[in-house]
Chain A
Amino acid sequence: MLGLNSRDFRLFLIVCALCLFAPIILNPFPVASSLGESFNAGYPALMQRFVIFGLLVIGFNILFGLTGYLSFGHAAFLGVGSFAAVWMFKLLSYNVVPAIILSVIVAGLFSVVIGYVALRRSGIYFSILTLAFAQMMYSIAFSDLVGKLFGTIVTNGETGLQVYNDDPQILLGQGDPTVPHLFGLEMNSAYTWKIGGWEFVFQNGYYLSALFMVLGFYLSIRIFRSPFGMMLRAIKSNQTRMSYTGLDTKPYMLAAFVISGMYAGLAGGLLAAMDPLTGAERMFWTASGEIVVMAILGGVGTLVGPVLGAGVIKYLENIVSKINDSILHNWFAFMPDWMDNLLVTIIHPFIGKGWHLTLGLLFMAVVIFLPGGLMQLGEKFTALFRRKKTDDAKTGATNPAE
């Protein structure tokens, strides 16, 4: 179906269904309950992040997963996409279509230039070069060097870029929404379905982002299964053989780099479409690092791994940052006081503002113990389960014969 084999198609359907029903699936607890306060994730702002970062990491995975080239500056393309989108809001109108189109194009152009230079080297050199480029772009954006050079505003430096009332917005007609919208469909408007103690929020912005993620996911399956994808895996495997087989590795690599840069640009454009302001910090190296963590955690080179990794990290970030000592005390209330206090003291550095510490430790743990990510863990479990099953089947089959 849709040019996919049955296994991939099933996977695709599952991802579609998850995206469609996410507002319900992610809100398993009643709103007012303490579990709901801590663990519910079905509100729009967070779900948007799941799918947008999922999209970003799907694109990153096309580069890192298939070719093995570790880009440490991918957040730069995300940032560029966001800036491009906000500029479209400022110049044209709040319609997201031109914003998203331009964000992809601009990120594509940047990745052609950066890719052309960085891909002259491989391995660690490539990683450092991409990191250097990203830091340079961060510096430029943070101090708005381009703006200063031409005596105007481009990224608006530390303040960040947003839409002001006196911006041209030449296509803005009378009565048009003054928030990002898709031909009148406002991104931040939502339908809330209340049933019992539960509340499910279906938001336009989330569904637009989810649609893009699903499309991006579909495209990545096609790429993975295409001759082009096979060539990229061949580059990862053996570049010498590749060139002695008559294939020019450079354009293949550049194509992969640009595709993944455009994914990042799209994600950046969507972020801006959800919330029409952006700043340089989106391009900082920690943001690039986070993309890598998501990919690794999910499982590099697998199809769903990236989506999974992005979801898990963003979810953990959300709950870990929300938890504080009093919530912990609540949880451990059944324990003796001394044990409760001890546990809270131990956990305290890792929660709330300690999210980055948790992230760093998680990062190390995954690289050390689970280089294949969650997907590998899943495979191990299913393999274990299958072996048991087949063992049972075998004993069942051989016993009567004996």
Chain B
Amino acid sequence: MGILEVKGINKRFGGLQALGDVNLSVAENTVHAIIGPNGAGKSTLLNVLVGKLIPDSGSVMFDGQSVLGRKPHEINQMGISRVFQTPEIFSDLSVFENVMIPCFAKRDGAFRMHAIESTHHEKDIAEQAMAILEDVNMADKRNMIASAMSRGDKRRLEMAMCLVQDPRLLLLDEPTAGMARADTENTIQLLKDIRAKRGITMAIIEHDMNVVFSLAERITVLAQGTPLVEDTPENIKGHPKVREAYLGEAQV
């Protein structure tokens, strides 16, 4: 029984079957990658998982509770954090504030009026925020305005914002899309470190095979909205069906 159980998801957009009978089980404490050629339905699946899309049928259970019909902030409060394709951070705020906000969300829930207390008096929050910034080697940049950072740093910051909440599942949407080689390598290293240090369960949606094979412990291949195979990376590499699905794309 995995921490995330997807059963029989169907989703149609007009005449297009975006997802057809998708079953998926992400086991606790693994890195599970979902790969597939363009248009395989990876993004649709992710949007279902985070509550942005409601499927026509099927169920998504996280730790025994249904995710469907919940708003993104409710799903986060259940313990699912998400890293976006292009980093979503609070660009106008300082790096330190960026990591403080998720700390508040974790401690106080979806809404709480702290309108009179000073932010600086929140010692616990500040300590947590500082600790995570040290973890991702950004402590020296804490007073920078987030928008002034390099793209790699923004990605790092977004990761830190997710990690500081100690999520039970971290969803990553093509975390290296559009990155230069060096940045990609850095991100892979960062994810490996996180995995080694914190043992967080991750589900990665990814296009880049290099990333997938250096991180994943389980891989699900999606093609035309249906899971083709699910196996370990070693077995996936030589799988004939996978080759078939990727035919015409870059070699696996």
Contact = CB atoms under 8 A, between A and B. Distances in A.
A240 B88 contact: yes
Given A244-B73, A252-B111, A255-B113, A226 B89 contact: no
Range, interface on chain A: 20 to 34
Nearest to A228: B115
B174 to A, nearest CB: 16
Contacts, number: 109
Given A238-B91, A244-B76, A245-B161, A225 B101 contact: no
B71 interface: yes
A230 B104 CA distance: 10
A292 to B, nearest CB: 21
A246 B106 contact: yes
Given A222-B115, A226-B118, A241 B89 contact: yes
Interface in A206-239: 222-223, 225-231, 233-234, 236-238
Contacts of A3: 116, 118
Given A233-B92, A240-B88, A228 B114 contact: yes
B117 A226 contact: yes
Interface in A233-289: 233-234, 236-238, 240-249, 251-252, 255, 259
Contacts of A229: 115, 119
B144 interface: no
A56 to B, nearest CB: 19
A5 interface: yes
A246 B119 contact: no
B199 to A, nearest CB: 21
A230 B93 contact: yes
A238 B88 CA distance: 7
A218 B71 CA distance: 36
16 contacts: A3-B118, A4-B118, A223-B116, A225-B119, A226-B119, A231-B104, A233-B93, A234-B101, A238-B88, A240-B84, A242-B101, A243-B72, A244-B82, A246-B73, A246-B109, A252-B111
Closest 7 CB pairs of A and B: A246-B76, A248-B110, A227-B114, A228-B115, A246-B105, A237-B90, A241-B88
Interface of B: 50, 71-73, 76-77, 81-82, 84, 88-93, 97, 100-102, 104-106, 109-111, 113-120, 122, 161, 165
